């Protein structure tokens, strides 16, 4: 009879440990999702500035149609990504590169650099870029915490049993895209 109680006690302890570890993994995964949602909000704000930016520069950059099309394409990719984190990251990288091109071309247009609308958009974009950078850092931190948690013992056993997988950090893999977006003249 005592052996049965011991066996039941061990089983109950094992169930409690499994539930505890599972809940820990789920909590960290949800924190990671929430941290990307914060990035998503900032990216949406930045992508919402795109039509205004295009409107401000299109009269100056009639022969730079390719650059403006890349900005529009990046915005469309972002809006079509829905729940796809990798798709949104790729669209963000596309927009960062396209914005660099716009600001580089804008150097050739002194009137554009002095345009009040353009300067205001530039200031808003700079503010949003700072918020995106902070959100990315938090996302990467929560992703790293999640990845570490699912790799350590005994969490790795529980993670494997329930199909939790390693998650990617928000990284830019293209060396050209790693350069900062120039938002000041």
Is position 120 within any domain?
Answer: yes
Number of domains composing the chain: 1
More confident call, 42 vs 23: 23
Residue-wise pLDDT for 61-107, tens only, equals 665 667 677 777 777 787 777 677 778 777 777 777 777 777 776 77
Is position 183 within any domain?
Answer: no
pLDDT at 183 (0 to 100): 43
pLDDT at 184 (0 to 100): 42
Residue-wise pLDDT for 29-64, tens only, equals 999 999 988 888 888 888 888 777 777 776 666 656
Is position 185 within any domain?
Answer: no
Is position 184 within any domain?
Answer: no
| CATH number of the domain where residue 174 is located | 1.20.1440.20
Q: Sorting pLDDT into bands at 50, 70 and 90, what band is 113?
A: low
Long-range contacts of 139-145 (CB under 8 A, 24+ apart): 139/32, 139/35, 139/36, 139/38, 139/39, 139/169, 139/170, 140/169, 140/170, 141/35, 142/28, 142/31, 142/32, 142/34, 142/35, 143/32, 143/35, 143/167, 143/168, 143/169, 143/170, 144/169, 145/28, 145/31
Q: Point out the least confidently predicted range of 19-23, 39-43, 113-117, 165-169.
A: 113-117
| C-alpha closest to that of 154 among 5, 50, 16, 54 | 16
Domain encompassing residue 131: 2-178
More confident call, 56 vs 3: 3
């Amino acid at each position: 009879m005592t052996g049965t109680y011991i066996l039941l006690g061990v089983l109950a302890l094992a169930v409690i440990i499994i539930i505890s570890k599972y809940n820990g993994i789920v909590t960290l995964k949800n924190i990671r999702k929430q941290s990307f949602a914060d990035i998503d909000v900032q990216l949406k704000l930045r992508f919402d500035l795109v039509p205004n930016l295009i409107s401000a520069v299109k009269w100056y950059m009639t022969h730079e149609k390719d650059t403006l099309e890349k900005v529009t394409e990046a915005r469309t990719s972002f809006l079509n990504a829905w729940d796809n984190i990798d798709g949104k990251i790729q669209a963000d990288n596309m927009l960062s590169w396209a914005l660099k091109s716009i600001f580089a071309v804008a150097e050739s247009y002194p009137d554009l650099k002095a345009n009040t609308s353009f300067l205001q958009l530039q200031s808003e974009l700079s503010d949003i870029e700072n918020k995106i950078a902070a959100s990315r850092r938090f996302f990467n931190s929560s992703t790293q915490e999640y990845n570490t948690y699912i790799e350590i013992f005994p969490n790795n056993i529980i993670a494997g049993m329930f199909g939790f997988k390693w998650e990617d950090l928000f990284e830019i893999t293209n060396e050209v895209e790693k350069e900062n977006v120039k938002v000041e003249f």
